[in-house]
Amino acid sequence: MTGLTRRALLAGLGLASLAGVPRATSAQTGIRLGLALPPGPLGESILRGAQLGLDDANALATLFGKRLELIPEPAATPEAALTLGLRLVRQEGAVALVGGADDGSAEALRDAAEQAGALFFNVGALSDRLRGERCHRWTFHVQASLAMQVGAAGVWLLDERKLSRWALLVSDSPLGRAVEDAAVAFLARRGAVALGRERVPVGTTDWAPVLGRIQGPGPEVVFVGLEPADKLGLIRAYRAAALAAPLTGVATDPAGLLAAEPQEVVGTWPLVWHHELERFSARELNARFRRRFRRPFDGPGWAAWAAVKLVGEAVVRAGASDVPGLLRFLESAPPFDGHKGQALTFREWDHQLRQPLHLAGPRRGPAAGRLGSLEFIADVPRGGDLDLIAPPRGESRCRFGT
């Protein structure tokens, strides 16, 4: 691909900033990571996080005579992600792929890594299928799963707020049914059941009858799992109706919530990262990101930062730059400092990164709008067992860790 053609393609996908990122060449000898980027703001977030992770990784690696190189390229569809992943490994020499902004692209990159013989770090896809029947030993999940989002919100509701009477409001879609299944399973583990379940068509705009039905059993909480395009409409209707039961659920599109008008937002939502975290050196990480990129650090950026930095730590601490050596090190559960207050490790049976999530709620007062629509509320879990918010091993369909 010529420079002009690549620049035009990147600009067309809303990733023009990639045109200024130097590409690795065949004469370079660093350890290469392929970065598959979706179009638009999400791709920009992942790219910025990966660049900060590369800086941090090389700050240490170069002291030991090592160097990591990032090969960022656009991939707008799962088919493009598969083709790109295979090329990055087979032709560009990448030992690992970083990406997976959505479930389809993550599955494609997982397949590319398996076929070409590389590691894959999922930084965006929530699907429990990728951690279950479609799991693979060479895939590692830095992004928290859908079930972990449900678990984080659920632990906070049950243990902190003492609210156990839930009504489920989900889209009649694969995503909605996955949220419903995860919520039902979580409640069953805690000896509770959902009072009611309401599935709504994708594209619902008239929320009044839905809210009337969901309030019938008298829930203490309305737990939501909606397609991103429908969520803000429901939130606005919920706020306008001034219903008593708190609203919470999964944040499949946190950027949409963070960018909404503060006066329109209601509910409590689990996030992978929040730009106002201060404890456990999170303040310094957020500050470094803001100084470099002049914008707040977000969840997709944090996941990409962590993935690249994890590879850098594996290279230095294991003294390995090949896939088998890196795999052995990562599977040994080395502690990783993600600036979240606890050592983060990959679970041996599904390679999900154990981590606390951060609950955020509507920002009120004079800072609303200036600092974003959501402010940090609490870490979940507050300490101790990080598996508390994830499904136990017995519920996993993944078998490579047995």
Output the pLDDT for position 2: 34
Q: How confident is the model at residue 252 (pLDDT cuts 50, 70, 90)?
A: confident
- Residue 137 has phi, psi (to 5 degrees) of -60, -30
Does pLDDT of 23 surpass 60? no
Other beta carbons within 10 Å of 272? 28
Other beta carbons within 10 Å of 283? 13
Using one digit for the tens of pLDDT, what is the confidence trace for 234-249?
Answer: 999 999 999 999 999 9
Output the pLDDT for position 258: 78
Output the pLDDT for position 202: 97
Output the pLDDT for position 396: 87
Using one digit for the tens of pLDDT, what is the confidence trace for 315-352?
Answer: 999 998 899 999 999 999 999 999 999 999 999 999 99
The average pLDDT across 1-15 equals 46
Output the pLDDT for position 253: 82
Q: Do domains 3-144+280-344 and 147-271+357-394 have the same CATH topology?
A: yes
How far apart, in whole angstroms, are the C-alpha atoms of residue 312 and residue 326?
10
Q: Please name every residue paired with 271 in a beta bridge, in sequence order, or none if there are none.
A: 358
Output the pLDDT for position 365: 65
Q: Which residue is listed with tokens 């990639």?
A: 18
Closest of 131, 132, 94 to residue 112, by C-alpha: 94
The average pLDDT across 25-43 equals 82
The CATH architecture of the domain made up of 147-271+357-394 is 3-Layer(aba) Sandwich (3.40)
The average pLDDT across 134-148 equals 96
Output the pLDDT for position 180: 97
Does pLDDT of 12 surpass 90? no
Closest of 222, 225, 136 to residue 178, by C-alpha: 225
Q: How confident is the model at residue 18 (pLDDT cuts 50, 70, 90)?
A: low
Overall fold of domain 3-144+280-344: Rossmann fold (3.40.50)
Q: Which of 94-98, 258-262, 299-303 has the lowest mean pLDDT?
A: 258-262
Q: How confident is the model at residue 7 (pLDDT cuts 50, 70, 90)?
A: low
SS in 3 state form for the chain?
Answer: CCHHHHHHHHHHCCCHHHHHCCCCCCCCCCEEEEEEECCCHHHHHHHHHHHHHHHHHHHHHHHHCCCEEEEEEECCCHHHHHHHHHHHHHCCCCCEEEECCCHHHHHHHHHHHHHHCCEEEECCCCCCCCCCCCCCCCEEECCCCHHHHHHHHHHHHHHHCCCCCEEEEEECCHHHHHHHHHHHHHHHHCCCCEEEEEEECCCCCCCHHHHHHHCCCCCCEEEEECCHHHHHHHHHHHHHHCCCCCEEECCCCHHHHHHCCHHHCCCEEEECCCCCCCCCCHHHHHHHHHHHHCCCCCHHHHHHHHHHHHHHHHHHHHCCCCHHHHHHHHHCCCCEECCCCCEECECCCCCEECCCEEEEEECCCCCCCCCCCEEEEEEECCCCCHHHHCCCHHHCCCCCCC
Using one digit for the tens of pLDDT, what is the confidence trace for 357-385?
Answer: 999 998 876 555 555 788 999 999 987 89
Output the pLDDT for position 360: 93
Q: Which of 127-131, 138-142, 251-255 has the lowest mean pLDDT?
A: 251-255
Closest of 274, 304, 402 to residue 348, by C-alpha: 402
Output the pLDDT for position 4: 29
- Residue 195 has phi, psi (to 5 degrees) of -70, -35
Output the pLDDT for position 261: 79
- What is the average pLDDT score of the chain? 90
How far apart, in whole angstroms, are the C-alpha atoms of residue 83 and residue 89?
10
User: What are the boundaries of each domain within the chain?
Assistant: 3-144+280-344, 147-271+357-394
pLDDT above 90 covers what percent of the chain? 79
How far apart, in whole angstroms, are the C-alpha atoms of residue 114 and residue 138?
7
Q: Which residue is listed with tokens 């490790």?
A: 345
Using one digit for the tens of pLDDT, what is the confidence trace for 58-84?
Answer: 999 999 999 999 999 999 999 999 999
